[in-house]
Chain A
Amino acid sequence: MTLTKQHARHATVSSAIPARAGIGLRSQHHWDALNNPVRPGWLEVHSENYFSNGGIPLRDLEAIRADYPISLHGVGMSLGSVDPLNWQHLRQLRDLIQRIEPGLVSEHLSWSAFGGRYLNDLLPLPYTDETLAHVAARISQVQDYLRRPLLIENPSSYLEYGFSSYSESEFLNELARRCGCGILLDVNNLYVSCVNHGWQALAYLNDIAADKVGEIHLAGHTVNQFGGQSILIDTHNAPVCEAVWQLYQTAIQRFGCRPTLIEWDADLPPWSVLVAEAATADCYMEQAYAQAA
């Protein structure tokens, strides 16, 4: 299979991600993405799962791309690390971008590696001037290398630092202003972090620069009892909860309709359940359009 052929096939569907609901695609659902007549508006994959020179998963993704706009969502760039940028990782991402022609490319406001060791988690950063200068410089470097803007996602977190001097929303806005990146607002993460830290969710939503929001994520979380306290863990293994749906409605009233992703990574349900969650998001977007009209 040559690259030319793949590009010819891609031409069947535009790369642009519509302001509709999409679903996070995991390898267990490759068959449905290719064959199931019930379809969401677009799909998002974790970029790192396709960092190979070939093989079955990549071949599937190329075939799926002929039918869907695709967004590449990274979980391992470690933008907040003090380690040097991992250029091998960036080369692999650039190659994947060339193959798949994604409509959006996103990453997290977090760090995951120190001293060349990767912890496979999205770890929280202190929101200080030092961190801001560091992360802004790295986002700019990455955007220059990839020749496209990134969307940066707010993380869910289980701790915060006493020496932070920005709120998370201020920090994201400032990154977007300095680097020209967009914001991927994960409403479930926002809710999880607000509950865990006693932040005001509506104030957070109101603070975010509306014109910078390029995508919204929705997912399920788990309530854990820990040391006699309850804490929300971002497990992506459940339906979107009612409180998050309500925040989502507020978000799209404020930001307008945006490409909205249903993320479900663990205890994966059938494709139809994911498509139904996406349909709910589409419904709320239609209502928001109707209200705005």
Chain B
Amino acid sequence: MHRLRELQRDFSSYVLQESQQVPAGVKSIGLSAEQRLAIYRNNTRLGLTAALRDSYPVVNRLVGDSFFAGLAAAYIKSYPPQSACLSAYGAHFSELISGFAAAQGLVYLADVAKLEWLWHEAYHAADAPILSAAALAQIDPAAYGRLVFRLHPSARFIASDYPIARIWASNQADDAGREYIDLRIGACRLLLYRPGRHVEIDYLDQAEYQFLQLLAVGTALSEAVETLLTDHPDANLPILLQRCLLKGLLTDFYLADA
């Protein structure tokens, strides 16, 4: 497979713009070998840029098509795809944006990108049944402390210094108005999840954000409550749990060993 290996090595380097060395053996009748390879280089760039644009429509709206194409080109260079599944491509886009000099003026852009990726993950996450209050009622109250909840597989959390949920909402394709958003309205903590057909974005306060994140990593209820009440003595635990159930955020539970 020597010849095939050399060909694919040189061809892929050329397409990813790491080399100007045209692979050996390409016929040049009419168009030169360089011109023919350029078609493939262009197809790959356009295809991957379109895939990123599909996952990051709000970033694209915020910066415009041509700036987005520049971001995409830089991303493809730093993070070439590692699978054939295009919907999995783009997981590190917010990191690329954070380090992209020309985007530094848009201080919130990297966080908006992160929000879009979490939305995308929530959209494609596995389905799960929603835990009913009736199922919880079966548990012996003495065992409550050992409860470990499983959150819906689509649950994602993000905190930002900027009002990224407002920015995201006012840049949806079907939102005709361009709202003026004052960045000084400041930080937000968000939960994304998909209880039914639609991904929901909920604002959380500090206590909720901390508590849900503890539950998300499988912390037993007693320990999560202890941490919560240490940091937020006035947190209303029954209401917090009630809201989790009502949201459809909990899918299952088990009892940890005592």
Give the interface of A toward B (CB within 8 A): 1, 48-49, 51-57, 59, 75-78, 80-82, 86, 88-89, 92, 111-121, 123, 125-126, 128, 130-131, 134, 158-163, 198, 226-227, 229, 231, 233
Contacts and interface: CB of A to CB of B under 8 A. Distances in A.
Contacts of B126: 52-55
B125 A159 contact: no
A92 B154 CA distance: 19
5 contacts: A53-B126, A54-B126, A56-B123, A120-B48, A159-B39
B82 A118 contact: yes
Nearest to B32: A227
A119 B44 contact: yes
B165 interface: no
B51 A119 contact: no
A162 B3 CA distance: 13
A158 B5 CA distance: 20
A161 B9 contact: no
3 tightest A-B CB contacts, nearest first: A76-B84, A54-B126, A53-B126
Interface string B14-33: 01100000000111011111
B40 interface: yes
Contact of A114 (B8, B37, B51, B128): B8
B4 A118 contact: no
A57 B8 contact: no
A55 B123 contact: yes
B70 interface: no
B4 A112 contact: no
A117 to B, nearest CB: 4
Contacts, number: 145
B123 A160 contact: no
B104 interface: no
B31 A226 contact: yes
B80 A158 contact: no
Given A159-B27, A162-B25, A231 B4 contact: no
B138 interface: no
A198 B29 CA distance: 10
A82 B84 contact: no
Nearest to A234: B43
B124 A121 contact: no
B36 A161 contact: no
A76 B85 contact: yes
B123 to A, nearest CB: 6
B1 interface: yes
A130 B4 contact: yes
Contact of B27 (A55, A59, A160): A160
Given A115-B9, A118-B84, A198-B29, A54 B153 contact: yes
Contacts of A112: 84
A88 B88 CA distance: 13
A161 B25 contact: yes
B25 A126 contact: yes
B12 A115 contact: yes
B47 to A, nearest CB: 5
A159 B26 contact: yes
Contacts of A57: 124
A134 B1 CA distance: 8
B9 A114 contact: yes
B82 A117 contact: yes
B127 interface: yes
B28 to A, nearest CB: 9
Contact of A117 (B16, B43, B51): B16
B12 A119 contact: yes
A76 B32 CA distance: 28
Given A111-B8, A130-B1, A159-B37, A78 B32 contact: no
B26 to A, nearest CB: 5
B129 to A, nearest CB: 9
A119 B47 CA distance: 9
B27 A121 contact: no
A126 B7 contact: yes
Contacts of A92: 85
